[in-house]
Amino acid sequence: MFPGITGYSVHPGIVRSGLQDSNPGLSGAIIRFMINYVRVMTISPGDGARTTLYCATSGAAEKDAGKYFEPYGRVSKRADILLADKEVGMRLWDLSMKQLEKKT
């Protein structure tokens, strides 16, 4: 549609960025504990930026334009299944339009 322009959906991962530090309540405490002490599934801010940078700068990413990228530039196989489901796509579109109508 727009030559030379590509789009990507990017999940940076669970990044130890400090953004979660003020998340209130029990869920916030659990998230902070997991990020600050367990660190099993968390990554540094630099590593969190890798997927976005890969999509923005790598010519290799262009072949997967429009797909959903997980941490470290991997294309999500699970997301491909959902993206191929036209009914799911229409439900997402309808929900998005309803949310926009609330804001206008």
Q: What is the pLDDT of residue 54?
A: 93
Q: What is the pLDDT of residue 94?
A: 92
**What residue segments make up the domains of the chain, in order of their start?**
9-103
Confidence of residue 89 (pLDDT cuts 50, 70, 90): confident
Q: What is the pLDDT of residue 49?
A: 94
Average pLDDT, the chain: 84
Q: What is the pLDDT of residues 19-53, one digit of tens each?
A: 777 888 898 888 888 777 776 678 889 999 999 99
- The verdict on pTM exceeding 0.85 is no
What is the spatial distance between Cα 67 and Cα 61, in angstroms, rounded to a whole number?
Answer: 10
Chain-centroid distance, C-alpha 68: 7
- Check residues 20 and 71 and name the one with the higher pLDDT: 71
Confidence of residue 102 (pLDDT cuts 50, 70, 90): confident
